[in-house]
Amino acid sequence: MNRICHYILHWVEKNLYEKTTIDELVKTTGYSRRTLENNFCEYYKTSIGAYIHQRRMARAALTLKLTTLSVNDVASLFNYSSDSNFTRAFHDFFKKTPTEYRKEEKWDINKLQYPLYIEEMDINSKNVILNTPVFIRGERIHYNAEYKNVSDCSFINKLKGKINKELMEDSGEIWLSSALSTKKAHEAREGYIGVDIIMESTGKTEVSIMKPGVYSTLRFTGDWSEYSVFSRIAYIKYLSRGNKSYASTSCFIKFRRTLDQSSVDCEFFIEISNVQPEKNINL
């Protein structure tokens, strides 16, 4: 990725909630509009304007699914002049209203534009059938995730110590379940959603069940800062490749012991629908 495109991508992420224009982007650089647009289009085969709109719609869709904010609140969050203008733009993009999108039992993620700066992440993906349930017994941990700031690593920094400790004391593998919890509207307006985690550990009695079904498995290896990005947004890219839909908002993760505690080796299991599995497994 060249320096100009790198700057554009991060500028877009910082300004998703604003009604910004390409002219405002130009003012923050020493380049002409033509230079910015030509570089971006040559590298990504799309225009800056189209990418901004796709990312705003994707973030709006995530906000509808992950929070209890009203449609009017979401419209205000993204600086639309009215909820009707937001609804029109959303419907033009997704071919359904915000309310219809939110109420869908199966979460169709195929039109969600992931941030292009994760393009180079090397992650292996496959579909499997889980034949028998997995029981995760351990410690329950609740935290408020800052959904407006995908680079926030505060909770990951706390969690990695617990994970590494359990990996050293256990058999070299531990399970973790992660599920969204309902947030009150005023908390969502402040940019937070609730996440409940059960991490496999000895002497704890909380239980999460990974039921039989079809899952997308995503193997990730890297450092903890890369994991923080991946665990929030990058897996959407890989699920969207295969015309998949979420069957649940829960996610299950198997962590494996590494030689270096600054690195991560894990596999995500995300229940999906509309796909043909590649093999059966028993975990």
Judgement on whether residues 76 and 127 belong to the same structural domain of the protein: no
One domain, residues 99 and 120? no
Do 40 and 63 lie in one domain? The reply is: yes
Task: Return per-residue pLDDT of the chain as tens, 283 residues.
Answer: 588 998 999 899 889 888 889 999 999 998 999 999 999 999 999 999 999 999 999 889 988 887 778 999 999 989 999 999 999 999 999 999 999 999 887 777 778 887 887 665 555 678 889 999 999 999 998 887 776 665 667 778 778 888 888 888 867 899 999 887 655 555 666 667 778 899 998 877 899 999 998 888 888 888 887 787 677 665 565 555 555 566 566 789 999 999 888 889 999 898 887 666 555 655 6
Range of the domain at 133: 116-281
Domain-located, residue 110: no
Q: How far apart are CA 210 and CA 195, in angstroms?
A: 17
Task: Find the CATH number of the domain harbouring 62.
Answer: 1.10.10.60
Pair (71, 128) in one structural domain: no
Residues 99 and 153 in one domain: no
Q: Are 253 and 266 in contact (CB under 8 A)?
A: yes
DSSP string, 100-129: HHHH-SSEE-TT----GGGTT---EEEEEE
If asked whether residues 155 and 263 sit together in one domain, one would say: yes
Query: Do 64 and 98 form a contact (C-beta atoms < 8 A)?
Result: yes
Q: Based on the fold, state whether residues 127 and 169 are members of the same structural domain.
A: yes
Q: How many Å separate Cα 34 from the centre of its chain?
A: 32
H-type alpha helices, the chain:
3-14, 22-27, 33-44, 48-66, 71-77, 83-94, 98-103, 154-169, 185-189, 224-229, 235-240
Verify that 88 and 157 share a domain, yes or no.
Answer: no
